[in-house]
Amino acid sequence: VRVGRAHGRFVCEIIDRGGGFDDPAAGYLAPRAGAGSGLWVARQLTWQIEFFHSPRGFTARAWL
Q: What are the extents of the domains in the chain? A: 2-22+34-63
Residue-by-residue DSSP string for 26-54: TTSSPPPTTS--HHHHHHHHSSEEEEEEE
Q: For the segment 51-60, what is each residue's pLDDT rounded down to a tens digit?
A: 999 898 999 9
Q: Quick one: average pLDDT of 39-63?
A: 91
- Reported confidence tier of residue 23, pLDDT bands at 50, 70, 90: confident
- Reported confidence tier of residue 34, pLDDT bands at 50, 70, 90: confident
Q: Is the pTM of this model over 0.85?
A: no
Q: Quick one: average pLDDT of 31-36?
A: 75
Residue 54 confidence (pLDDT): 87
